[in-house]
Chain A
Amino acid sequence: MRRSTPLTFWIRAVEAAALAVAVCFSMGATDASSRFNDLGHRLMCTCGCAQLLGECNHVGCPESGREREELKTAIAAGKSDKEIFDWFAAKYGATVLAAPTTQGFDLVAWIAPFAVFGAALVGTVLLVRRWSAGKAQAAAGPGVASMDPAERARLEKIRRETDSGGDGGY
């Protein structure tokens, strides 16, 4: 039997927490009115007002009243969220859904932000580590070290003349 190290303990703890959060998020609300409110804010009004169905405030809107009734009927019939969204998308087109689905190419819409954030986070951490590790070599600075002494003196003179002391900043 393998011995549990602190690292594996923490990995398992994070996995368990992620699972718990995922379970929480995947559980649907049980109350019909709150479900209507929730789904109404994940569908669009199709009259062209570019508002969420749950927020469309046009009196006499030709679409939102009918859409709301259809949503109520679907909830009363015990349909799942996916079935309701599929039905609306089939009737009104994919633009009736207020956000991309998690299938096919739409999935890219959800993955890309987190992938970019993850990659940028890893890149920043690596950069910070590299800069921290290389501080001894960088102290001289490759650009400055390789510069002609006369040019360096000239730049230093201009820097002294042009920089106005600085207030310490942030």
Chain B
Amino acid sequence: MAAFGSFALLIALALAAYNLLAGALALRLIATGQPATTPTSKNRSLGTTARVSPERLADTARRAGIASFVAVTAAAFALVWSVFANDFSLAYILEHSNRALPAAYKFSALWSGQEGSLLLWAWLLAAYGFVLRLTHKTDVKLYAYAGTILAGVQAFFLAILCFAAPPFALFQGAVPEDGNGLNPLLQYPEMVIHPPMLYLGYVGFSVPFAFALGALMMRYPGERWIKVTRVWTMVTWLFLTCGIFLGMHWAYAVLGWGGYWGWDPVENASFMPWLTGTAFLHSVMMQEKKGMMKSWNVWLIFSTFLLTLLGTLLTRAGLVSSVHAFAQSSIGTWFVVFMGIVLAVCVVTYILQRSHLQSEHHLESLVSRESSFLFNNLVLLTACFVILWGTLFPILSEYVEGSKVTVGAPFYNRVAVPIGLFLLFLTGVGPLLPWRATSLRAIRRNFVLPSIALWATVIVCLVAGVRPWKDGALDAGNFYALVAFALSAGVLTAVLSEFFHGARVIAKQTGHNLLAATWLLTRRNTRRYGGYIVHIGVVVIVVGLAGSAFNRNVESEMGLHDKLVIGPYTLVQVGATQDSSANYDSEYALLDVYKGGKRATELKRDGWLFHLIPLQMAPEKRVYQPTGQPQTMVAIHSVPEWDLYVVYEGTNPDTGQPIIKAFLNPLVGWIWFGLVVLVVGTLVALVPALSPATAAVRVPARAPSEPALKGGIA
């Protein structure tokens, strides 16, 4: 399998290189209007050259791209096969798997190390390219440009896999009987889907990048490429969003520190392209509606792609210290060089073709939807800069002063949280402002309800005990939480009132009830109302995040029948025991949970039925066999108000009693629910709208007056 996998990678590299070179040559010939000439054995003897149509050359390049996907798939299959076959003659399998590893986690071994995760990256990129090349008839020439650019990116990753980080390298020496096992931190259900999801997001941004660069190279007229790119960007953005949130949930459930976001460089690396991608999804509407910000949009996509590369560089090259950089090595130089090449290509293309991006910039008013988009982009880009700055400042400090500093949560909480709240404010204001201009009266009318909701929330929170001061001083956490709750109420009211106004009009026109009218309204403009649902999801998430200001925790050594009280809950230790399996040894405590003097209950599924059963929690500590690495398995009881989060920290070596740490984390469940709303909103926005323009009109296909690939501008 090692030889098969290695050859598959080499063939994939050769095919990707052919796709890049032949594709580039064909597109150049088409752009300059020249035919390709190829000497063949027959005409060489005649002293002539055969003419090959550039369109055919481009098609061979496309087919090579498709074949490259097959070859990378074969290589990925070879690695997965080797994991399941416990082929420890491969150094990678030896390092990242063992015989007792459960089957689901054997898949995780594919991305638990440097070489495997790069192979996953290359496979996902090839898969995206495969879909793109199969759908090339949408716009043959644009897709040819995009496919060729993607082949360039693909060739880079395959070159690393073939020469710098080969996943099929053989172990030198006598092959051990068993492997070293998978990192225990990765042996968790979410870890089976979190990295592929995150990678789908990271890799996916290559596609809009390829379209944007290709459209600029060929001076693509009109804004249709924006529509094509938008769908790819939204799908990619959705994957990245899900990947980030799955990572948060994994950190919450596995690391055992009671939080879900630690501003770790690896987390930051995934968040930065998300911010620029979000900015692009907003500003692109300015280009579609008003023909504005063409250069800006192109650079947003370029930056997003470069940030995905930077994120990978930070994760892989060990430039910054991270709590969960699982796969570090010395491939940083490859990435730095590639980023330099990509940047140079982007800059040169932009300079040569910038006249094509001339925009008609005009605004009718400072207070308009257009302005709100500009400010939205400003805030998103500033947030991205802040995170990039914080991530790279330790390196800068070391270079300037010779000593490293830590840039951790206190820095981001002070700098990024206010920016995030300003962004939330804009999320509410934007939809209330019409395009072009608005009157003072309209502003007053639109803002009355949200303002009332905002101030009512402030009063309710103050009455409920959320005080932005403590011991005579301003409490920053509570203050930000209060602002977040109030703004969330304002934004939610603003968005819901948009639904209400639109639905009321449709209800009057059609006689439907308000609910049916809302459904019809959403179907008529899925993009707009899907976007609003995404905003509702963001609001729900912000409420959940704001709850962290009120987290509490208590830690205690617990003997049999000892009690631990946190908030309304009382935990009683009813047993502490040990267990052993082929993969790990574990210790855990059994804790009966009481609330208000009665046994707390939880909903338990039994087939298709649900039963209320007494709540018992079993926080666990595992020690994995091959490496002896410990791992926390947190017990979580989640209700809408809060999470009761219990950690088995270990045993006191003097008394042998378990040490239990319990957290009461308010509103955490809202974060995961907000993600569901956000995903639903994005899917709604992706569905084509139900309207006469898209539903009824079917224009018969016309015979092309010229070859599909012809007509490009050099």
Q: A96 to B371, alpha carbons, bound, how many Å?
A: 43
Complex Cα–Cα for A19 and B103 (A): 61
Would you call A124 and B393 a contact (CB within 8 A)?
Answer: no
Closest B residue to A50 using CB positions: B323
Give, as a whole number of angstroms, the nearest-CB distance from B692 to chain A: 10
Check if B405 sits within 8 Å of A164, measured CB to CB: no
Chain A residues within 8 Å of B, Cβ to Cβ: 21, 24-25, 27-31, 34, 41-42, 44, 49-52, 55-57, 59-60, 93-100, 104-106, 109-110, 112-114, 116-117, 120-121, 124-125, 127-129, 131-132, 134-135, 138-139, 141-144, 155, 158-159, 162-170
Contact of B257 with A55 in the complex, beta carbons under 8 Å: yes
Instruction: Give the residues from 311 to 334 in chain B that come closer than 8 angstroms, CB to CB, to chain A.
Output: 321-323
B420 to chain A, nearest CB (A): 12
Complex: how many Å from CA A121 to CA B389?
A: 18
Is the CB–CB distance between B410 and A59 below 8 Å? no
Whether A167 lies near B693 (C-beta < 8 A) is yes
Chain A residue at minimal CB-CB distance from B416: A113
Are A99 and B408 neighbours in the complex by a CB distance under 8 Å?
Answer: yes
B201 part of interface (Cβ distance < 8 Å)? no
Q: A27-B473, A29-B470, A167-B693 are in contact. List 5 more A-B contacts (CB 8 A).
A: A56-B257, A99-B410, A109-B405, A159-B221, A163-B222
Indicate whether A50 sits within 8 Å of B285 (C-beta atoms), given known contacts A60-B650, A132-B364. no
Q: Which residues of B contact A159 (CB under 8 A)?
A: 221-223
Q: Whole-angstrom distance between the alpha carbons of A94 and B401 in the complex?
A: 11
Assembled-state Cα–Cα distance A85/B321 (Å):
22
Q: Which of B227, B406, B411, B659 has the most CB of A within 10 A?
A: B406
Instruction: Give me 6 A-to-B residue pairs in the complex whose CB atoms sit less than 8 angstroms apart, sorted by A's number.
Output: A29-B471, A94-B404, A135-B362, A167-B689, A168-B527, A169-B528
- With contact pairs A109-B411, A112-B389 given, residues A129 and B366 touching in the complex (Cβ less than 8 Å): yes
With A120-B381, A163-B222: A109-B362 Cβ-Cβ less than 8 Å: no
Determine which of A99, A138, A155, A170 lies in contact with B360 in the assembled complex, contact meaning CB atoms within 8 Å: A138
Instruction: Kindly state the separation between the CA atoms of A169 and B281 in the bound complex, as whole angstroms.
Output: 11
Is B528 a contact partner of A131 (Cβ separation < 8 A)?
no
B47 to chain A, nearest CB (A): 41
CB distance from A86 to the nearest CB of B (A): 14
A-B contact count (CB 8 A): 191
Q: Nearest residue in A to B650 (C-beta to C-beta)?
A: A59
From A100, A112, A116, A167, contact of B405 by CB (8 A): A100
Is B714 in the interface zone, CB < 8 Å from A? no
Shortest C-beta distance, B412 to chain A (Å), equals 9
Is B390 at the interface (CB under 8 A from chain A)?
Answer: yes
Contact of A113 among B371, B378, B385, B409 (CB under 8 A): B385
Does A124 contact B378, Cβ atoms closer than 8 Å? yes
Q: How far is the CA of A135 from the CA of B401 in the complex (A)?
A: 49
| C-alpha gap A28/B256 in the complex (Å) | 30
Give the complex CA separation of A155 and B474 in angstroms. 60
Contact B407 A164 (CB under 8 A): no
Contacting A at CB under 8 A, from B621-667, are 632, 647, 649-651, 653, 659, 661
Residues of B within 8 A of A143 (CB): 355, 358-360
Q: A169 to B289, Cβ gap below 8 A?
A: yes
List residues of B (388-427) whose CB comes within 8 Å of A's CBs.
389-390, 393, 397, 400-401, 403-411, 414-415, 419
Is A94 touching B410 in the complex (CB atoms < 8 A)? no
Within 8 Å CB of A42, what residues of B? Answer: 410
Residues of B within 8 A of A (CB): 139, 221-224, 227, 256-259, 262, 264, 282, 285, 288-289, 321-323, 355, 358-366, 371, 374-375, 378, 381-382, 385-386, 389-390, 393, 397, 400-401, 403-411, 414-415, 419, 469-474, 476, 525-528, 531, 632, 647, 649-651, 653, 659, 661, 688-689, 691, 693-694
Given A44-B406, A170-B531: A158 touches B221 (CB 8 Å cut-off): yes
CA distance A169 to B226 in the complex (A): 12
Nearest CB in chain B: distance from A169 CB, A: 5
Q: Are B224 and A164 neighbours in the complex by a CB distance under 8 Å?
A: yes
**How far is A141 from B688 in the complex, measured between Cα atoms in Å?**
32
Whether the pair B264, A50 counts as a contact (CB closer than 8 A) is: yes
- Residue of B362, B393, B531 ringed by the most chain A CB atoms within 10 A: B362
* Chain A residue contacts of B470, Cβ below 8 A: 29, 34
Which residues of chain A have C-beta atoms less than 8 A from B689's C-beta?
Answer: 167
A109 to B420 CA separation, bound complex (whole angstroms): 18
Separation of A110 and B531 alpha carbons in the complex (Å): 34
Q: A57 near B474 (CB under 8 angstroms)?
A: no
How far does the alpha carbon of A96 sit from the alpha carbon of B322 in the complex, in Å?
A: 15
Q: Contact: A138 with B361, CB < 8 Å?
A: yes
Is B222 touching A158 in the complex (CB atoms < 8 A)? yes
Chain A residue numbers with a CB within 8 Å of B409 are: 41, 52, 98
What residue in chain A is nearest B385 (Cβ atoms)?
A116
Closest 6 CB pairs of A and B: A143-B358, A59-B650, A24-B474, A135-B362, A159-B222, A162-B224
Does A124 lie within 8 Å of B374, measured CB to CB?
A: yes
Q: How far is the CB of A24 from chain B (nearest CB, A)?
A: 4
Docked complex Cα distance between A90 and B469 (Å): 33
Which residues of B lie under 8 Å from residue A98 when comparing CB positions?
A: 406, 408-411
Question: Is the beta-carbon distance between B650 and A97 smaller than 8 angstroms?
Answer: no
The distance in angstroms between the C-alpha atoms of A52 and B409, with both chains bound, is: 8
Instruction: Report whether B363 and A167 are in contact in the complex, using a CB–CB cutoff of 8 Å.
Output: no
Chain B nearest CB, measured from A154 CB (Å): 8
